[in-house]
Amino acid sequence: MMNEEGLLVRPKFDTPSEYLRQGKMTEFDMEILELVSKIKSKENDENTIIELINLMNKETKRIDGALRDPRKFKRTASEILASRQRTGCCDSATLFTAMARSQGIPTMQIITLRKEDALRSLKDGSAVCSGHFWVGCYAKNKAGENEWMLFNSDSNHPYKMEWNLEDRNIRDCYAFAYVNDYRDVELVRDDKLDILKIDSIDSMNQIQTELAKKCDTSLFKEDIRKSSADIER
């Protein structure tokens, strides 16, 4: 059973259709449908997902060194495609999610904090300022059966990753939300009488820092493999 300490939004693995619903940031339009029409694979399987990520990489550029880009956490999938630029893993996961759902592939965004940052924050009071967006897709495996699959949509070399659905550890990160659309994430802070949403770099860092305090760090597993490129956010 998944530990829920510091878990803001739990996954609904038993209802894949929930992750076909379009959200405010992940809605697809005619431009996205036209883009996705270029793929050859129509099986909605592992190869389809890889082809979609490769197509996104071909049609848009992942900007290097965009750690403090003011566009982070602010643009819809359509806006990202129109700009032909992705500022990080949030943009990649947002555009990919819209692309995958347009093909009928249930897709969730998995939002994480970096474990090393969380431990440092708990020790010295500094902010947690890194993590990663992963994507979980419900698609056909090689046996033709549907299953949840984990991918890094921010990678230039995508592949199906190992994934224990009950384990929130993903490489050097720890998941705190499994969502249809990242803009749906809300953290209520009773002490400050406010609600934090993922709508800026600062709000994201505040959410990660608050949740680091609530996570059971004894469950953090060491993994020397990095989250990819190495991924800012």
What whole-number distance in Å separates Cα of residue 186 and Cα of residue 192? 14
The per-residue pLDDT for 1 is: 92
- Contact by Cβ (8 Å): 97, 135: yes
CA dist 17 and 180 (Å) reads 10
Give yes or no for a contact between 53 and 151, defined as CB atoms under 8 angstroms apart: yes
pLDDT in tens, the chain (233 residues): 999 999 999 999 999 999 999 999 999 999 999 999 999 988 999 999 999 999 999 999 999 887 789 999 999 999 999 999 999 999 999 999 999 999 999 999 999 999 999 999 999 999 998 999 999 999 999 999 999 999 999 999 999 999 999 999 999 999 999 999 999 999 998 777 789 999 999 999 999 999 999 999 999 998 744 544 444 44
Structure tokens at 170: 């993903």
Q: For residue 45, what is the DSSP state?
A: B
Residue position matching structure tokens 């990678």: 155
Domain positions in the chain: 16-218
Report the pLDDT value the prediction gives residue 223, as an integer from 0 to 100. 72
> What are all long-range contacts of 39-45, with beta carbons under 8 Å and residues at least 24 apart?
39/103, 43/140, 44/103, 44/104, 44/105, 44/139, 44/140, 45/139, 45/140, 45/141, 45/142, 45/144
Structure confidence at residue 199 (pLDDT): 97
Domain covering 16-218, topology: C8orf32 fold (3.10.620)
Neighbour tally for 45: CB within 10 Å:
20
φ/ψ of residue 189, rounded to 5: -110, 100
* Tokens found for residue 200: 């800026």
Residue whose C-alpha is closest to residue 52's, from 106, 89, 109, 103: 103
For 173, list phi and psi in degrees, rounded to 5.
-120, 170
Tell me, what's the pLDDT at 204?
A: 96
Give the Cα separation of 21 and 19 in Å (integer): 5
The residues that bridge with 136 in the sheet, in sequence order, are: 108, 150
Total residues belonging to the chain: 233
Q: For 192, what's the count of Cα atoms within 13 Å in the CB-facing half-sphere?
A: 8
pTM: 0.94
Rounded to a whole number, what is the largest CA-CA distance in the chain? 52
